[in-house]
Structure formats: C-alpha cells, structure tokens
Structure 1
Amino acid sequence: MTINDTMEPERVRERLTFDQTVPRAIAHRRAVGEVFITDSSPAGPDTFLLAWQIPRAHALWGDRLTAHHDPFATAEAARQGCFVIVHRHLGIPLDLPFSLQRFEFRVTAGLEPYRDDRRWPLQGLLRYRIGHKEFRGGDLGSMRIDGEVEIDGTTAMTVSGDVVFLSRGDYEALRAFQRSRKPLADVPSWRPADPVAAARVGRRDERNVVVGAPGTTSFPAGLLRYPMVMDRGHPSYFDHDYDHVPGPFIVEGFRQAGLLAACGAGLLPSPVAALTGLRATFADFGEFEAPLEYVAEATPGADGRADVRVGLHQFGTEIAEGRIELTPCP
C-alpha cells in the first residue's frame, strides 16, 4: 500500500511543497542545513502528512561507498517529522523535554527506491498516525507514532516510536537522580579511542566514524567491545548542545559496530551494506564523562543479510540495546 491509497484528501498531498524547510527549532536542529522536513499538514484525525528532502551533498548522509542513498537518512527525516508534529500540530511547547524511548524502522521495498540517480536529491512523503495517547493531569504524557515513508509513490519504509513527555522540573530531577547513582567522580583517567579506518564501516570520511578497534578483552558472554569515538564538534551528530549522548549518534554506533561484527564473522562480503532494519530501546542516558562501549553479536539473516544484536554499555550497565539488519548493497 502507498500513502496515496489511504484516505487523505488529494489536496493535502498537492499543497505540500519542497521549496523550503520548516523552522529549524521545531525540527530540533540548530543549522538550517540539518533540517530535512520541508512541509507538513493534518490529514485526518491524529494523522499527519509531511514532505522531506535529504541534501545530495550532505557531509554525513552523502558519505557512503555505494550508489544508493542511505535508508538511515530517511529514518532521520522521520525522527525530525515526529518533532514537527509535536510542536506544530499538537501544540507542545519548544521548551518541554521529551524523548523517544523506542524507535524502529524497516525498509519494505528493497534498496531500489534508494538508488542515487546523481541528479536529484532523495525526497518523498511521510505519513504519521498517533495513538496510545496517555494524559497526566490534563497534559499529554506519552504517545505512540506509526508511519510510512514514501519515495516515488512506493512505501519504502515503515517507522514506529514511543514518545514520553516530561515537565522541565521532572526532567531535571530525573537527570539529577540518574547522575547521582553513577560514579562520575571516580572515573579513572582514560584516553579516547582512535576511530577505525572509514572504509571498514562503509564511510569515506574518518570524521563520520564513531567506533574504535575492539578491545583485547571481551564482555559480556565473550563479545568484543567496540569503544565509542565521539567528536562533540561534529556538525551533524552534535548539531546542538546536549546534556547526554544523543540517540541518533548511538544508533550510528550500532550500525558501525554491527558492520565490524558481521564482516568479522564472514556474514557480509564487505562493509558496503545498508541499515535496512532497526529496533532500538533506551533505558538510560549516556554520560559524556566516562567511556562508552558497544557490543555486537552477528547472526546470518535471510537472503545474505546479517542480523545483529547490539548494545551500549557504560559503568558496566547496558543503557541501550537493539537489533539491526544489514543488507549488502548491489
């Protein structure tokens, strides 16, 4: 089914444009060049339609060793689309903290819709439905989002996530409580890891590499640990200030650790592979003051793909986990 098969009036689709981005603040971006949503409109009860476009020369999403666009870039557009709906259409104030506690996506039509014709930017439509809304004291406390990403009339990806809202006071109290339970004052001095060669994780630019070579010891259950490599001046991963390690950066590490694990296990012929499936949940925030390490366990998937169970650890605790699917690019 395509977005056009649904009940949205055709006029809603026709009035969406790709002429300019939405205001950067409602997409939670500082740089206009990092905003991928160009327009949005209600399309029915708790249903919204958005237009999106990925710049061809983007320093991160254009950094690849394949003739296909990166499906993860469209997932990032979908993530921004959630923010746009929350602020523009649900009236949630810009200064109200909220987070995606679960985020999932799956490529549904293979990689052909992502083929780069070297002429046009990747663009399309995003349809979101909101459900499972829960209220606290009359205010929206949480909700679920489900959607489809359309490229050239084909539903190319499905996305889903759980959003939780907090008051500013509740968020600050939560962060203070979390940090009080961590030995931040006792972290021994540590040297940040050097990144692996960019080509080993399907990149050209070393600045876009977020994992280092695996350590000589292993945990848990005999799995290699891949240190997180963090450049807080990176224009995309750290477009604005955070008080914790951002989720999209963590997921990029999932992808790169997964590529290293899958190639190391002989499950992929090369790291030129697309992230075609993700299920990620976040149990805690990552802190900047201490090392973070990925683990990845790869198993054979269908049709030459690799399925990888991934996790992120800090202070000996898994703070984020998930499963990813890696598909060799043609």
Structure 2
Amino acid sequence: MTNTLPHPTAPGSLPPPGVRLGFEQTVPRSLAHRRQIGEVFVADSAQGSEDDFHLSFQIPRAHSLWADRHPSHHDPFASAEAARQSIFVLLHRHMGVPVGLPFSLQRIALRVEDPQAYADDGTSALQGYLHYRVAERQGKGSDVVGMTLEGVMEIGGRRAMTLTAVLAFMSQEDYDVFRAFQRAQKPVDTARLTPAHRLSPGQVGREVPRNVVIGSADREHPESDDGRIRYLLAADRRHPAFFDHEYDHIPGPLMAEGLRQAAVAAACRSGAMASPHALAVGCEAAFLDFAEFEADLVHEAEVQTPGADGRLPVAVRLLQFGKTVVEGRIELLPHTGPHPRPTAPVHGG
C-alpha cells in the first residue's frame, strides 16, 4: 500500500505543546454529521495554524458495532470512523465551511503503522489524538471546491495510523442537479434487488448478525470467477450506526465495511486465512460514483500474495449496473492469539 504522508510528528507528540484537548464531552452532533449523540466520537478540537488541526476522539466500549470484534484488539476501522467525523468538525468549526454544504469523499488511504496501538486491555476505551494538515486546497469557506487532508493518529503514545483524504465540494443546487442527472443515466426504475442470504457473523469476524452487511444469492456457493469472489450488499436499513440519518445514496461507511467483510470472507474461503479474526490494517478506496439503493451492489474481492510483514492484501471493488462504483484494496493482519470462542464455519459461502 502506498502512502505519501510525511512524518511531521514523533511518537508521543500529540497533541503538540500549547494545544490542550479533552475527553469530557463530545462535540455537537451537527458538527460530526450525526443525529444520535451516542454516534459522535469526536471529543474536542483546536486549530494550530491556518492549515493544521488537532482533535481528540473516543469510541464507546459498548458500541453496538465497534465492540463486536475479537477482544484482543480494538477495531482500526472504529478509529477511521472517528477520523472521518473529525473532517466534518474541522471543516465546520475551524474552516468556515457551512453545515449543510454538500461534499463527497473521493479518495481515502489509511494505514495502521503500529497494530499494537490497538491492543485492548479489557477495561480502556479506544481513544487518542489526530492531527490533520491541509496539503491542498481550492477555495475557502463556502466557496471551497476541493481539498486534500493528510492525517496522523496517535493512540496511547503510539503512532497508530496515517491517512489521506481527498474531498470535493459543491453547492446544494449543483448537488441536486448532479444527482438527478446521475440517476437519469442509470436504469433505476427497472432495477430489481436480488434476495441475498446474509453470511453468518463467524464468516466475517463478527458475532452479532445485524452487523453483517454482505451476503450471497446462493447460500452455499458465492459466485466465483478468475479468482474473484463476489458478495451482495445485505445490510439492515435500520442499523443504528450505518443509517444514523437519511441518505439519498448508500453511505460510504457502509460500503467500506462491506469491502472489509468481503475481504475477510474471501481470504478465509481461499485458504489464505485460517480464521476471520483479523485486523484491517490498511484501506485504499477511490469512490467513483454514488451507489443507489434500488439495485444490487456487488462486492468483488481478489486475494493477493501476503507481504513479508504478514499483511494480506485483498483487491476489492464495488459494482452496480455493471460499472465500478468503488475500487481499492484492504490489508488484513490475521490474529495469532487464541480465538474468543468457537465460530461458525468460514467456508460455507
């Protein structure tokens, strides 16, 4: 996985001297684009300079989605969700971008630098600090058009994650016209959803069935071709984390979780991993189009050769109407410790 992020901070340096960040409360939910208070993970924020921003975050220990995992480690995707919310906070609180201005995440790349930063002692919440730097910017405030952010996350004094995000902005009027044009180019009115059998939680490293978001039209044999394994989106539209509020398209965090689950299931099915309990230690994704609710969203995964560091890359794509909506790669690091309890078979499709 490529990562061009510079290394401006050393371990143990966040927040920097002179910046004080707390964990006493969360930011207002409107700043984090969340409707439920319990879904807000950003605790505090401060601006260091015109292009530097510092934030603190905490993930609830009993969160319905992010606590559903192998108990030895916290989920890096949980901290990635905190990083996503942090973007909203810095835009609205510190950069003059009005709440309600539509924007989309075009590309994201994240890499877990130190997996041990996510070790779970069984009593502490996942919390840490995040530093974002504006690497590129087109426009300011309500006139912003595009932006590239580079981030460094620290957990427990360890450099936990680096990330890059590319954003595009437009006015509400332009967004409405754009979405109407987009949908008009797709056979939305005649589309039909294929009934999908959700995978068992044990096949994707979960324990709660509601948190499984992929399935198969054939319960026993997911479609495979040329080494690729395909799954259908099979999410619960009432899920409190993925559907915290109304959307006019399938939300990005749900698609990312679907890609992660498809990567895990495909890696186990191919024999590349013996267990679905694995840390997601890398994610690259290019969001090429909006995904619509009315048609099948197909997750395609192709397991690649493991690296010398034990990380297993899986090429992933999301397809709808025969076209690629998202493409990228997930990197998995299998857990080597004991499993928490017996899980369902992982080769049953």
Q: TM-score range by the shorter chain?
A: over 0.9
Deviation at 1:143, TM superposition (A): 0.5
Tell me what 2:328 maps to: 322
- Inter-partner Cα distance in structure 2 for 1:161 and 1:118: 31
Following superposition, the deviation at residue 233 of structure 1 comes to 0.6
Name the amino acid aligned to 2:51.
D
Contact 1:281 1:322 survives alignment (8 Å): yes
Distance 1:154 1:214, change over 3 A: farther
Preserved CA contact (<8 Å) 2:101 2:142 = no
- CA distance, structure 2, for counterparts of residue 276 and residue 62 of structure 1: 17
Cα distance in 2 for residues equivalent to 1:211 and 1:155: 32
Contact preservation (8 Å) 1:3, 1:148: no
Partner of 1:169: 173
Partner of 2:255: 250
Residue of structure 1 in register with 2:151 after alignment: 147
Contact 2:74 2:120 in 1 (8 A): yes
Partner of 2:295: 290
For the Cα contact (< 8 Å) 2:96–2:140, is it kept in 1?
Answer: no
1: distance between equivalents of 2:170 and 2:190? 30
The Cα offsets for residues 159-205 of structure 1, whole Å up to 9 and x where unpaired, read as 110011110011001100100000112224x4431211001100000
Residue pair 2:97, 2:142 contacting (<8 A) in 1 also: no
For the 8 Å contact 2:295–2:320, the answer to whether it is kept is yes
Partner of 2:204: 201
Q: Structure 1 pair 221/93, CA: closer, same or farther in 2 (3 Å)?
A: same
Q: State percent identity of aligned pairs.
A: 48
Gapped runs of 5+ residues in structure 1?
none
Partner amino acid for 2:231?
Answer: Y
Listed as ranges, the matches of 1:110-125 within 5 Å are: 111-125=115-129
2:315 alignment partner, one of 289, 305, 309 = 309
The answer (yes or no) to whether the contact 2:97–2:141 under 8 Å persists in 1 is: no
Q: What is the SS of the residue equivalent to 1:30? A: coil
CA contact (8 A) 1:214 1:225 kept: no
Contact 2:213 2:234 in 1 (8 A): yes
Distance, in Å, in 2 between the alignment partners of 1:291 and 1:82 is: 30
Deviation of residue 102 (structure 1)?
0.6
After superposition, the Cα gap between the structure-2 partners of 1:136 and 1:77, relative to the gap in structure 1 and judged at 3 Å, is: closer
Query: What amino acid maps onto 1:194 in structure 2?
Result: H
1:39-188 alignment, distance < 5 Å? 39-109=44-114, 111-135=115-139, 139-188=143-192
Partner residue, 1:2: 10
State which drifts further: 273-282 or 127-136: 127-136
> What one-letter code is carried by the residue in structure 1 that aligns with 2:56?
A
In the alignment, which residue of structure 2 is the partner of 1:21?
26
- Measure the CA separation in 1 of the matches of 2:132 and 2:141: 26
Whether the 8 Å CA contact 1:268–1:305 is kept in 2: the answer is no
Quote the Cα distance in structure 1 between the aligned partners of 2:293 and 2:267: 28
Spell out, residue by residue over 1:58-110, the C-alpha distance to the aligned partner (whole angstroms, 9 max, x if none): 0000001241000111111101000100100011111110111111110001x
- Output the TM-score relative to the length of structure 2: 0.89
CA displacement at 1:136 relative to structure 2: 8.8
Q: Does the aligned pair in 2 maintain the 1:267–1:304 contact within 8 Å?
A: no
Rounded to whole Å, the distance in 1 between the matches of 2:227 and 2:311 is 23
In structure 2, relative to structure 1, the CA distance for the partners of 1:112 and 1:41 (3 Å cut) is: same
Q: Distance in 1 between matches of 2:165 and 2:323?
A: 23
- Structure 1 position 304, deviation (Å): 3.1
Whether the 8 Å contact between 1:267 and 1:305 is mirrored in structure 2 is: no
Write the distance in 1 (CA, Å) between the matches of 2:272 and 2:136.
39
AA of the residue aligned to 2:87: C
Q: 5+ residue gaps in structure 2?
A: 1-8, 337-349
SS state at 2:214 partner? coil
On the 8 A contact 1:145/1:160 being kept in 2, the answer is: yes
Measured after TM superposition, the shift of residue 269 of structure 1 is: 1.7
Q: Distance in 1 between matches of 2:36 and 2:334?
A: 32
- Corresponding position of 2:18: 11
Is the partner of 1:23 in helix, strand or coil?
coil
Distance in 2, Cα, partners of 1:222 & 1:52 = 39
Tell me by how many angstroms 1:219 deviates: 7.0
Q: Structure 1: which 4+ aligned runs deviate by more than 2 Å?
A: 1-6, 135-138, 213-224
Structure having the higher helix fraction is 1
1:13-54 deviations in whole A, cap 9, x for unaligned? xx2100000000110111111100000001123001000001
TM-score (norm 1): 0.94
Counterpart of 1:297 in structure 2: which amino acid? E
Letter in 2 for 1:198: P
- Aligned residues of 2:149 and 2:164 also touching (Cα < 8 A): yes
Q: Distance in 2 between matches of 1:241 and 1:221?
A: 37
**Structure 1 partner of 2:340:** none
Return the letter of the residue paired with 1:93: P
Matched, 1:38 2:46: no
